[in-house]
Amino acid sequence: MQIKENFEIKSLTTYKIGGKVKKVYFPESQAELTELLRELDEYIVLGSCSNVLFSSNGYSGNVVITSGMKNFEIRGTKIYADCGVKGPLLAQKTCEASLSGFEFMIGFPGSIGGDVCMNAGAHGQRISDCLISCCLFDRDTKEIVYKKKEEMEFSYRHSLLHCGRYVLLYAEFELKKAPQEEIKALVDRNLNFRKTIQPSLATPNAGSVFRNPENDSAGRLLDKAGVKAFDMERVKVWDSHANFIVNKGEATSEDVLELMVKMYNAVKDMYTIELKPEIIFIGDKTEKEEELCNILYKTKTQK
């Protein structure tokens, strides 16, 4: 297992933002990950670093990156996937196997661990729709436990994993047989949507900035509030979708937070709706970042 000290985390994040992390671990199997988590006291586990904003000030703690955990298996209509398996890869492989249910993941840069944690979904599909069970590491008892779908507390952008007690090791899914041409048409449609409406990862971003409020769309509210005109020196709101912030080059975490607050205030002033961030902030905050995070997150973020 690779272990790197004072690691420049921005090389891994889809935002291309973040300072030095004290120690980063790269396990490649469930056994390595489990052994590591039993040894460490404090840590953050991440996969593709696609839904996070790391402080440019760095992080004086341990980060575990599961991107090396790539094992998955297709057995009939069932899929077994390690937490580090990329969603787009599974979307492609299940399409080839004429299995439907993962079409929505083709445009997501995330891994299975993050997708299950946030109950990722798009285009009328959610990962919880086809999940059967999860194999988890219990941080309190340091034991491996299994949870059925009904025990995972799934709701919009939420699961049991948000409580912080559990870490996903692997998940079991059951998909449905369908004609391959129908699955491929849906995959192509979703990919085309991503390419035409949302920024590609060639333009550094971390996906949707804010969660959708109940019975509404954050993108719609932000658009109506005029945030597409928000263009700062190093960050801007994406031209084609108001719920994305892109890094124009050499942006800092503070730049992103400042723009998030501007977007948040624009919607609050127009609709009296307080949007909740979908992006997770991690790191040792500066005073300014502390102030901005208090506005956006209301509670203290991870540090």
Q: Which residues carry out catalysis?
A: 157, 208, 278
Please state, in angstroms and rounded to a whole number, the distance separating the CA atoms of residues 241 and 115: 21
Helix (H) or strand (E) holding 31: helix 30-39
Half-sphere exposure of 264 (CA within 13 A, CB side): 21
* Helix, strand, coil percentages in the chain from 3-state DSSP, rounded to 5: 35, 30, 40
Give the type of residue at 35. Answer: E
267-to-215, 230, 260 alpha-carbon distances in Å: 16, 13, 11
Please state, in angstroms and rounded to a whole number, the distance separating the CA atoms of residues 104 and 189: 10
Please state, in angstroms and rounded to a whole number, the distance separating the CA atoms of residues 36 and 45: 11
Beta bridge partners of 125: 122
Q: What angle do CA 80, 82, 46 make, to 5 degrees?
A: 150
Q: H helices of 40-179, where?
A: 87-96, 112-117
Q: With contact defined as beta carbons under 8 Å apart, do 46 and 14 qualify?
A: no
